[in-house]
Structure 1
Amino acid sequence: MLELLIATLTLVGFAFICGSLLGFASIKFKVEGNPIVDQINEVLPQTQCGQCGYPGCKPYAEAIAEGEAINRCPPGGEAGIKALAELLDMEVVELDESCGEESLPTVVVIREDECIGCTKCIQACPVDAITGAAKMMHTVIESECTGCDLCIPPCPVDCIDIVEIQPTIDDWHWPNPAQLNKPSQIPVKVIS
C-alpha cells in the first residue's frame, strides 16, 4: 500500500512540474497576433490607400486571413495577387475592377506656389509623407509617398498633382515574357 501511495504522489508531483512548465512556456512564448496576417501584410504594398475597402493594408491582411478575396488591391496589382495566391496556396484571379485599376506607381507633388498652408493634406496622409506648417507651404517627401492620393480630395485650392513614377535606368528591367498575358506586350525591336 505504501508503494502505491509513493507511486501516486510521484506521478502527481511529476504532473504538477510538467503543468507548471507548460504554463510558464505558454506565457513566455506567447505568439502575438496571427503570423499569417503578418506574412500577408508583408506582401501588400503598404500604400494605406483604402482602395480595397479597408482603412489600410493591415486591416485588409486580417480580412484576407479570414477569407476575403485577394484581388482587391490595385497598387499591388497582378504581381501582388500572384504573391498572395502563392503564399495562401490559392488560384490567381483577376484584379477586382470595382476597387480601381492597376497603374504605374505614382507620387503626389504639391505646387508649392499655390499652397495656402491649410494642413489638410498633412492630416490626410496615412504615411506622413507631407511636411510643412500651418499657413506655410507644404511639400511631399517623394521617397516616403506611397501614391495613395488620399491628400488630394481635402485640398481646398487643388494644388496637388498625381505624377507617375517613370522607370529610370537604375530600376528598369526587361519584362519576363512568361509573366506577360499578351505576346504583343513583349518589346520588339524591328530591324530593317
Structure 2
Amino acid sequence: MIEAILLFGLLALVFGLLLGYAAIRFRVEGDPIVDKIDALLPQTQCGQCGYPGCKPYAEAIAAGEAEINQCAPGGEVTIIALADLLGREPPAANPEVVEKPPAVAFIDEQTCIGCTLCLQACPVDAILGSAKHMHTIIAKECTGCELCLPPCPVDCIKMIPIGGDIPHWNWPDPNRSPAALPSPAVKTEEAKP
C-alpha cells in the first residue's frame, strides 16, 4: 500500500515538473498590437463589422485582413483612434457602415412573452428573465448592439437613444441637417442590485 502511494506521488512529481517545463519552454505570447486595438474598440460584441466580436475584429485588423472603418458603434472616433495607433491616415467612412447614436434596449414588459430568444442573442448578458416570464434589460450592461431585436417574435424590444447628459453630450456637427441629429435622450430605469 505504501509503495503504491509513493509511486503515485513520484509520478505526480515527475509529470508536474514536465508540465512546468513545457509551460515555460513552449509559451505562446499574444500579439500586443491586437490587445491595443481591442482596447480601442467599444466592446459591444455586436458583429456589425462582419466578425463575431471585438477581439476577432482586432485580430483581423492586426493581420491586415480588415479595414479600420468597419465598427458602427465606434464610429469616427474609433476610426481616428485606430489610425493614430497604427500610424495610418484615417480612411474615408465606409458607406455600408451606418454610425448610430448610442442607444440602450428597452423591453415592454407587458408585451414580453418570455420566449428567451433575446436572452440567447445577447452577447453581454444584459437581459434578465427566464422561460415564460417577462424579461428586462440591465441598462448599465446593454451595449446597444441591437442583436436582441431580430429574434423577438412580438417586437417588444425598442432601442432608446442615450444622450442629453453631460458625459454623453457633444457638439453637433454643423454639416449635418437638423433632421439627422439624434433625438433627445429618454431616461431609462436601471436595474438595482
Structure 2 length-normalised TM: 0.74
CA-to-aligned-CA distance 1:112-154 (integer Å, 9 cap, x gap): 0000001000000000000011100000001100000000100
- Shift in Å at residue 104 of structure 1? 1.1
Residues 1:169 and 2:160 aligned together: no
After TM superposition, what 4+ stretches of structure 1 lie above 2 angstroms from structure 2?
26-32, 169-175, 180-185
- Shift in Å at residue 171 of structure 1? 4.1
Question: Which residue of 1 is the match for residue 181 of structure 2?
Answer: none
Distance in 1 of aligned mates of 2:115 and 2:70:
33
Residues 1:39 and 2:36 aligned together: yes
Alignment RMSD: 2.5
- The number of residue pairs the alignment matches comes to 156
Structure 1 length-normalised TM: 0.74
Pick from 71, 74, 77 the counterpart of residue 75 of structure 2: 77
Question: 1:160 is aligned with what amino acid?
Answer: I
- Shift in Å at residue 31 of structure 1? 5.5
Question: Which residue of 2 is the match for residue 148 of structure 1?
Answer: 145
Written as runs of structure 1 = structure 2, the 5 A alignment for 1:19-98 is 27=24, 30=27, 32-67=29-64, 68-98=66-96
Q: Give the number of the structure whose alpha-carbon radius of gyration is greater.
A: 1
Gaps of at least 5 residues in structure 2 are: 1-20, 179-193
Gaps of at least 5 residues in structure 1 are: 1-23, 186-192
Written as runs of structure 1 = structure 2, the 5 A alignment for 1:98-117 is 98=96, 100-117=97-114
2:38 match: secondary structure = helix
